[in-house]
Amino acid sequence: MTLKNSSSVTEFILVGLSEQPELQLPLFLLFLGIYVFTVVGNLGLITLIGINPSLHTPMYFFLFNLSFIDLCYSCVFTPKILNDFVSESIISYVGCMTQLFFFCFFVNSECYVLVSMAYDRYVAICNPLLYMVTMSPRVCFLLMFGSYVVGFAGAMAHTGSMLRLTFCDSNVIDHYLCEVLPLLQLSRTSTHVSELVFFIVVGVIIMLSSISIIISYALILSNILRIPSAEGRSKAFSTSGSHIIVVALFFGSGTFTYLTTSFPGSMNHGRFASVFYTNVVPMLNPLIYSLRNKDVKLALGKTLKRVLF
């Protein structure tokens, strides 16, 4: 095996989802289908929001960014997964660190985009008369800029902690992508600092975002319960329903994956659990927001009429 500067390997071998030859083609077709739906769904939602002035509101500005992140997020590793089903599962050291950086960047950014969306729903339901003033273009831009800055900082922390490690003996990653925990298992040097960085960064991001979302929806629920009419309460719930589902899917699957992989010998289970939040959730998000949203369905109908007729 070739060494890089006598300290780190020049390439890694990804174990992938399955080493059984008879499963490679079915898995390739499955993940290809998921990838096509993800790209078409998110790119379609981005285009729909961009070309329809009726959707140029704070809520859809955040949804535009969520779809953009999901699209980029999926493109970071899915093409590599598809390639690994039909050829040798090898990734260069530089490619692995690059994949790790962008994976962490988009995941961390999505956490705080979801926080921004929760805040947007809080203002819309609890302070509707001040909504357009509170959620001004400047505020929306700052919220999104902050989300990407937090994502960048978290990705730099994770990637930096990996770059300081030494990989000499084994270069086989027990995963289908370059993730922090599988890489930590390969290091010959002490991983104490890197593990500390990982759990601090992940803990802070998950705790702050989760607490912010829970507080927002606690205030929303309190406000909704004070609405006298059942129709008013139903309408208020419906405006937040899609976001609640997306938050539950993203944080629920992500938390389950990291709790699963934190136990010794459970990496194999975590590998399959992570498929849900790395591949399935980005595919489901545009479906959830389009099928449950009257504004999106109306804009889609008008756009199709303009294009077809």
CA distance 225 to 237: 10
pLDDT at 3: 38
Look at the block and give the residue holding tokens 């390439």.
11
pLDDT, tens digit (0-9, with 9 covering 90-100), for 221-253:
888 888 787 777 777 777 778 888 888 888 887
Q: Evaluate whether 162 touches 100 at the Cβ level (below 8 Å).
A: yes
CA 53 to chain centre: 27
Tell me: domain 11-303, CATH 1.20.1070.10, correct?
yes
Question: Rg (Cα) of the chain, in Å, rounded?
Answer: 21
Tens digit of each residue's pLDDT (9 = 90 or more) over 30-66: 999 999 999 999 999 999 999 988 889 999 999 999 9
**pLDDT computed for residue 259 by the predictor:** 67
- Encoded tokens for 127: 């302070």
Residue ranges of alpha helices (H) inside the chain are: 21-51, 58-86, 93-126, 131-134, 137-163, 180-184, 192-225, 230-261, 267-275, 281-291, 294-308
Q: What is the pLDDT of residue 66?
A: 94
Structural contact between residues 182 and 174, judged by C-beta atoms closer than 8 angstroms: yes
Q: What is the pTM of this model?
A: 0.89
